[in-house]
């Protein structure tokens, strides 16, 4: 037995490259098979002189272990390839995309516009950055009216005859519609509005409104009442009742604040309606003749009604959300609650 033969064999094993699994099996037979080179060396080992047995025994065992390890690792590398091949299941369905949800404010906005759409109201929109004329003056606000105060309105440019500001209501869009269009006019005006208020559970400096305007010959307060009753019954259910309380707005005369019967306790009184059985939902009234005239509409020929409501308020009542801030923070846990009403 020659030590060189063993070292050569070790080299050969180390350098061996297999291209396919079959090459690995051939190597195994060549080395460790019945007539394999290593098997043959072990046979020769029997006739090695006793004083050399210890040395040769050790190297032969190392050789055999190396060969077995090499064969095993080559085999594993091929099995990995085979494995990934068989693991690719092309019939498996793809990963599902998580669907987003509509924001609750959008849902209520669409519902309000849809109901009025069925009554024949078109949608009108206008700018969020407005001038004093469209937000205040054309709506019969006297120059000293407190709503013009810095406390309530965000001014962009407070100077001059016609200051620039963020609209405090979408009544400005109604003015723009009256300036543009001859009666009959039937529009609903959705949009964001801005008021200088401290943020709390019940108030925010940004909120959303839908205001409505109907101008034609012979429009009466009875028409206003009926339109609002039909709207709230569509929105909150056919059992819903309305109550009108006298109020004041510079742009309507007479003016009213509209309440609906509490949809939570059915009018019996609970903590949502603070025991009264009624919930305030909007302001409304007959368009003041001064407002019609300011936009070039003949107030001796035409009359009209207007109303305005906060979308957040309607959404709060519909879904019993007790904190307005939820609508602005976009916490996914809150928004996902509305998946079922998509
Ligand atoms: N513009 C009023 C507001 O912002 C709402 C309103 C609209 C009231 C039309 C009466 C008529 O609160």
Parse the chain into domains and list their residue ranges: 3-86, 104-338
Select from 209, 211, 225, 256 the residue to mutate for testing ligand 1; criterion: most ligand atoms less than 8 Å from CB: 211
Select from 112, 121, 169, 170 the residue to mutate for testing ligand 1; criterion: most ligand atoms less than 8 Å from CB: 169
Architecture of domain 104-338: 2-Layer Sandwich (3.30)
The finding on whether 283 has its CB within 6 A of some atom of ligand 1 is yes
Select from 306, 310, 311 the residue to mutate for testing ligand 1; criterion: most ligand atoms less than 8 Å from CB: 306
| Per-residue tokens: 338 | 């509305």
Q: In the chain, what is the straight-line distance between the N-terminal and C-terminal CA atoms, in Å?
A: 85
- Give the three-class secondary structure for 227: helix
| Cα atoms in the Cβ-side hemisphere of radius 13 Å centred on 287 | 33
pLDDT exceeds 90 at position 166: yes
CA-nearest of 287, 110, 307 to 228 is 307
Mean pLDDT of 7-15: 89
Whether the Cβ atoms of residue 328 and residue 214 lie closer than 8 Å to each other:
no
Q: Which residue matches tokens 């469209």?
A: 134
Contacts of 303 (CB under 8 A, 6+ apart): 215, 216, 217, 218, 219, 220, 286, 287
Contacts of 103 (CB under 8 A, 6+ apart): 327, 330, 335, 338
Q: Which residue matches tokens 């099995």?
A: 79
pLDDT of residue 342: 54
The finding on whether 131 has its CB within 6 A of some atom of ligand 1 is no
pLDDT of residue 140: 94
Q: Which residue owns the Cα nearest ligand 1 atom 9?
A: 307
Whether the Cβ atoms of residue 308 and residue 191 lie closer than 8 Å to each other:
no
Q: Which residue owns the Cα nearest ligand 1 atom 7?
A: 308
Q: Name the phi and psi angles at 282, rounded to 5.
A: -165, 165
Whether the Cβ atoms of residue 243 and residue 257 lie closer than 8 Å to each other:
no
Pick the more confident residue, 335 or 217.
Answer: 217
* DSSP per-residue letters across 296-316: T--TTT-EEEEEEEEHHHHHH
Express each pLDDT in 105-115 by its tens digit: 999 999 999 99
The finding on whether 252 has its CB within 6 A of some atom of ligand 1 is yes
Query: How far, in Å, CA of 185 to CA of 173, rounded?
Result: 12
CA-nearest of 58, 34, 56 to 45 is 56
Please list the residues that pair with 122 across neighbouring strands: 187
pLDDT of residue 83: 59
**C-alpha distances out from residue 112 to 51, 103, 135, 244, 266, Å:** 103, 14, 23, 20, 22
Most confident listed range (7-11, 91-95, 245-249, 317-321): 245-249
The finding on whether 285 has its CB within 6 A of some atom of ligand 1 is yes
- In sequence order, which ranges of 183-310 are alpha helices (DSSP H)? 221-236, 289-294
pLDDT of residue 228: 97
pLDDT exceeds 80 at position 155: yes
Whether the Cβ atoms of residue 39 and residue 46 lie closer than 8 Å to each other:
no
Q: How many CB atoms lie within 10 A of CB 141?
A: 17
Q: Say which range, 79-93, 109-123, 200-214, 254-268, has the weakest mean pLDDT.
A: 79-93
b or e along 224-233 (b: 16 or more beta carbons within 10 Å of the residue's beta carbon)? bbebbeebbb
Pick the more confident residue, 301 or 317.
Answer: 301
Mean pLDDT of 244-264: 94
pLDDT of residue 341: 63
């Amino acid at each position: 037995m020659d030590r060189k033969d063993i070292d050569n064999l070790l080299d050969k094993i180390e350098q061996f490259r297999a291209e396919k699994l079959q090459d690995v099996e051939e190597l195994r037979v060549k080395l460790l098979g019945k007539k394999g080179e290593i098997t043959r060396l072990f046979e020769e080992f029997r006739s090695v002189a006793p004083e050399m047995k210890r040395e040769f025994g050790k190297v032969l065992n190392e050789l055999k272990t190396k060969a077995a390890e090499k064969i095993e690792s080559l085999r594993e590398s091929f099995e990995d390839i085979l494995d990934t091949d068989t693991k690719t299941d092309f019939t498996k369905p793809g990963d599902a995309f998580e669907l987003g949800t509509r924001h609750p404010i959008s849902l209520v906005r669409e519902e309000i516009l849809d109901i009025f759409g069925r009554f024949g109201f078109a949608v009108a929109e206008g700018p969020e950055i407005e001038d004093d004329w469209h937000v205040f003056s054309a709506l019969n606000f006297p120059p000293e009216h407190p709503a013009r105060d810095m406390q309530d309105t965000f001014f962009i440019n407070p100077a001059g005859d016609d200051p620039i500001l963020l609209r405090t209501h979408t009544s400005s869009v109604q003015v723009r519609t009256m300036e543009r269009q001859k009666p009959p006019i039937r529009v609903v005006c959705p949009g964001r509005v801005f008021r200088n208020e401290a943020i709390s559970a019940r108030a925010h400096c940004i909120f959303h409104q839908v205001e409505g305007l109907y101008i034609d010959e012979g429009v009466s307060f009875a028409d206003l009442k009926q339109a609002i009753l039909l709207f709230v019954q569509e929105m909150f259910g056919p059992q819903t009742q309305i109550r009108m309380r006298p109020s004041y707005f510079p742009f309507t005369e007479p003016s009213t604040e509209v309440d609906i019967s509490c949809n939570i306790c059915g009018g019996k009184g609970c903590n949502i309606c603070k025991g009264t059985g009624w919930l305030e939902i909007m302001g409304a009234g007959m368009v003041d003749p001064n407002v019609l005239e300011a936009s070039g509409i003949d107030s001796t020929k035409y009359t009209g009604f207007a109303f305005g409501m906060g979308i957040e308020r309607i959404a709060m009542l519909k879904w019993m959300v007790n904190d307005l801030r939820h609508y602005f923070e976009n916490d996914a846990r809150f928004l996902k609650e509305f998946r079922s009403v998509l």
